[in-house]
Structure 1
Amino acid sequence: MTVLTILKERGFIDNQTHEEALETYLKKPGRHCYIGFDPTADSLHVGHLIPIMSLAHMQQNGHIPIALVGGGTGRIGDPSGKNEMRKMMTLDTIDHNVQSIKRQLSGFINFGEGKALLANNADWLASLEYIPFLRDIGRYFSINKMIKAESYRQRIESEGGLSFIEFNYMLLQAFDFLTLLDRHDCRLQMGGSDQWGNILAGVELVRRSRQKTAFGITYKLITKSDGSKMGKTAGNAVWLDPEKTSPYEYYQFWMNTDDRDVARFLSLFTFLPMPEIRQVSNLVDGELNQAKTVLAFECTCLAHGREAALNAMASSASVFGSFTISEKILPSSSIPRTNKNKNAIELPTTFVSHNELTKGIPAYELFLRTGLTKSGGEARRLINQGGAYINGETVPAFDLLVDSSHLKDGEVLLRAGKKRFHRVKMKEQ
């Protein structure tokens, strides 16, 4: 079984070039493949997990993944999937984001010598000379074909139009492919389905300029069964950076997976065997919740390490109660099958001063300060609608003073809705 078969079985692939030739190409180990990551933020998020996991599968099956960070193309911005031009970032911001992304990718991919590569296209794009680039690369591109690409066509037809600087993006991404071919004999580029036009441009550039066959694969853009975008919760991105999304919050994101998505997400976002995952489709009620716990644990292990996953699981148990997971459910998982640990060390926590808690803090202000709501108005609505809780009890009024009398075991436990928790503790004097 080749890695291509594995990716198809797990539901990754949306489209590909040269189906039979690519299958043959990947039968030999040691092939280089790459995916590009735009440094538009200083953290990747859950929406990036499909390309990250695909690189990890490539590595596990004997190939050499290249994670290409767009330090050069990030100075322009990819128009794919965007209705307007991206905001221009300073070079310092781009460099900071590049370094942060490299650290996060290292949690999923082993960058030991000869096992994987981290590359930054600023290394070759930043020093390009415009006239030689037009002569050597631009001559292979047809504007007639380019404007038919979905990413360009939508922007051209939009009110804001397509800027000339963005129009160059396809050429630069194709040049990345050519450069990685020349440097590492990399003949496979992968990416999201919105990258199909850019990937085909690279495949064609390699064919025409080097007379070699290159390959492309695109992955499905994942949405949840309810139609919402993958990687969003309560309107916010679920980041891989633990400073932006704590391991506990990350764990809870997976725990809150829709029942209809559990088996699919296990196949995409974990390395557990497919025969075991297929059995999950037959589970209901309590057993399906056990499978969700395994999903949350495995995903948190990959992103943050086993210790963080254990702490997040313990924190969840301290809020929702201890649990037992049957040995028959996803038996290949290394998750502890029982959890009675009441340690809530990873539960998101806000510390307030002794003086504040003695005087009392209005409930709506506390829900806002802890990030359970985005505004004071939202906090008032949540409380008035009966969706806010303190220590398990409904908050009776938005201006209720939360003070030291609400402390239980040295803390106040806030809850917004059914599943979003936050802990308030008093600062040590």
Structure 2
Amino acid sequence: MTDILDELHWRGLIALSTDEQELRSALAAGPVTYYCGFDPTAPSLHIGNLVQILTMRRLQLAGHDPLALVGGATGLIGDPKMTSERSLNDRDTVAGWVERIRKQIEPLLDFDGAHPARMVNNLDWTSPLSAIDFLRDIGKHFRLSRMLAKETVSARLNSDQGISFTEFSYQILQGMDYLELHRRYGCVLQTGGSDQWGNLTSGVDLIHRVERQSVHALATPLVTKADGTKFGKTETGTVWLDAEMTSPYAFFQFWVNADDRDVIGYLKVFSFRSHEEIAALEQEVADKPAARSAQRALASDVTTLVHGAEETEQVIAASRALFGMGSLDELDAGVVKAALDEAGAPMVEAGEELPSYVDLFVRSGLVDSRSAARRAISEGGAYVNNVRLDPGTSPDDRPGRDDLLHGRWLVLRRGKRTVGGVELA
């Protein structure tokens, strides 16, 4: 890679830049110290935040020095939303979220190589600062006309909700972060999403006013979906990086289900595959869309980045096994449950004595009646844990406790694609 900006352009990762030619020169003369901030306004980052982390990683691989800021101070306030005031979280909650988010970022950056990353927390320099010092040393450099022109602030001011001084001050705090990192580490580039552009440039302006130095800001575009729905949202909600909030199986399925119109763009943004590899997958989408090769490559790459290779192997095995192309016995308990949930499989709760196979298929909704269940079994189209039920199975025959996966679940299947589950209550 001779020019990281050319690479970012090819991947569709540059929406705005303060002075691209000056930044190109600085990066070529490198290494450049740069930062991106992440606020703990929830217990986890989501896949929108992943765009920023992976952009940081690309810059690091190109020979530059990253600072990953987790906002222990700004997280106590929250960046203003377009619609309404945020609910303020208590200090202990935010501190706990800071640690959770640090652990999500750390595996995705290199902290030991030639250009080691550094984690920073803006609470370290914000907490000791008095209100008077903040207003005298920082606030005096901000002009209300520019602050009021920020899109989110303007929208809120013209709404019934309005905006509090607390949220209005957020852009001052973020600007101060850039100034502090510039002073401490020689940071000369801040990256972020295009929706953060007003906050990014507030730091650029503050450093110019206070230090008489020129620094840079670079914004990535917001990722969109071709069908007009919001990226990173599913029927069950936001796609989080935390495995407890979005299971690795559900995470994998989100990417597998990417629209053909979106998948190549997602590969450019979220994978580290080469130009040649992505071009080959793009050709496969055109020639053999039903194979979904690009989607599977994308899902494997991103799930491995976030959850690790071992978890990804379990998820892929579960995707196959759920529909009869592998063994369910080898799957972890959590993967079995997540696979059933994500497949939308109707669940039957069973007591100590399991119902008959016929009743289980009826109660799961896989068939309409006991006679239909008996017919599915006699025709060889009924499966339990991927084992075909003997066509001679009696209507009163029932599974035993030894048949339960992990002592808790049965996976029912009628034909190739219709799946249900049984969970021991």
TM-score range, shorter chain: 0.7 to 0.9
Cα distance, 1:33 vs structure 2: 0.8
Structure 1 position 37, deviation (Å): 0.6
Cα 1:262/1:11, change in 2 over 3 Å: same
How far apart, in 1, do the equivalents of 2:317 and 2:220 lie? 34
Where in structure 2 are there 5+ consecutive unaligned residues? 341-346, 366-381, 387-396
For the 8 Å contact 1:78–1:169, the answer to whether it is kept is yes
1:289-308 matches, within 5 Å, as 289-308=292-311
Quickly say closer, same or farther: Cα 1:404–1:8, change in 2 above 3 A: farther
- Spell out, residue by residue over 1:248-271, the C-alpha distance to the aligned partner (whole angstroms, 9 max, x if none): 111111111111111111111110
Q: Which amino acid aligns with 1:104?
A: Q
- Measured in 2, the distance between the counterparts of 1:291 and 1:116 equals 31
The residue aligned with 1:93 is 93
Does the CA contact (< 8 Å) of 2:17 and 2:219 recur in 1?
yes
Per-residue CA deviation, residues 180-238 of structure 1 (Å, 9 max, x unaligned), is 00000001011111111111111011111101111001111112111111211114111
> How is 1:2-13 mapped onto 2 (pairs within 5 angstroms)?
2-13=3-14
Gap change, CA 1:278 and 1:145, over 3 Å in 2: same
The answer for unaligned runs of 5 or more in structure 1 is 323-339, 368-388, 393-402
- Determine the C-alpha separation between the residues in 1 that align with 2:233 and 2:398: 35
Letter of the 1:355 partner, please give it: E
Residue aligning to 1:334: none
Aligned to 2:319: 316
Q: Which residue of 2 aligns with 1:15?
A: 16
2:71 matched to which residue of 1?
70
Work out whether residues 29 and 61 of structure 1, in 8 Å CA contact, stay in contact via their aligned partners in 2.
no
- Is 1:172 the counterpart of 2:173? The answer is yes
For 1:15-62, what per-residue CA distance to the aligned partner results, in whole angstroms no more than 9, with x for missing partners?
Answer: 111110000111134311111111011111112111011011111111
Measure the CA separation in 2 of the matches of 1:426 and 1:95: 38
Question: Which residue of the partner structure matches residue 132 of structure 1?
Answer: 133
- Work out whether residues 32 and 187 of structure 1, in 8 Å CA contact, stay in contact via their aligned partners in 2: yes
The verdict on how the C-alpha distance between 1:168 and 1:390 changes in structure 2, with shifts beyond 3 A counting, is farther
Bigger radius of gyration: 2
Match of 2:288 among 285, 288, 292: 285
Aligned pair in 2 of structure 1 residues 192, 365: CA closer, same or farther (>3 Å)?
farther
Q: Distance in 2 between matches of 1:406 and 1:5?
A: 62
CA distance in 1, matches of 2:145, 2:91: 33
Mapped partners of 2:130, 2:212: distance in 1: 24
1:117 deviates by 0.8
TM-score normalised to structure 2 length: 0.80
- CA shift, 1:320, in A, is 4.1
Q: Secondary structure at the match of 2:29?
A: coil
Amino acid at match of 1:157: N
- Partner in structure 2 of residue 37 of structure 1: 38
SS in structure 1 opposite 2:149?
A: coil
| CA apart distance, 1:111 | 2.2
Q: What TM-score results when the alignment is normalised by the length of structure 1?
A: 0.80
How far is the alpha carbon of 1:247 from its aligned partner?
1.4
Partner of 2:343: none
**Aligned positions of 1:26-425 closer than 5 A:** 26-79=27-80, 81-112=81-112, 115-283=116-284, 284-285=287-288, 288-320=291-323, 322=325, 343-345=330-332, 346-348=335-337, 354-355=351-352, 357-358=354-355, 410=404, 411-413=409-411, 423-425=421-423
CA apart distance, 1:83 = 1.0
Query: Is the partner of 1:27 in helix, strand or coil?
Result: helix
- Whole-Å Cα distance in 2 between the matches of residues 3 and 259 of structure 1? 27
User: What is the letter of the counterpart of residue 302 of structure 2?
Assistant: C
Give the whole-Å Cα distance in 2 for the aligned partners of 1:412 and 1:51.
Answer: 41
Distance in 2 (CA, whole Å) between partners of 1:33 and 1:240 is: 23
Equivalent position amino acid for 1:262 in 2: V
> Given the superposition, is the C-alpha separation of residues 353 and 130 from structure 1 closer, same or farther in structure 2, using an over 3 Å criterion?
same
What residue identity is the alignment partner of 2:298? Answer: L
* 8 A Cα contact 1:107 1:304, kept in partner: no
Work out the number of aligned pairs and report it: 376
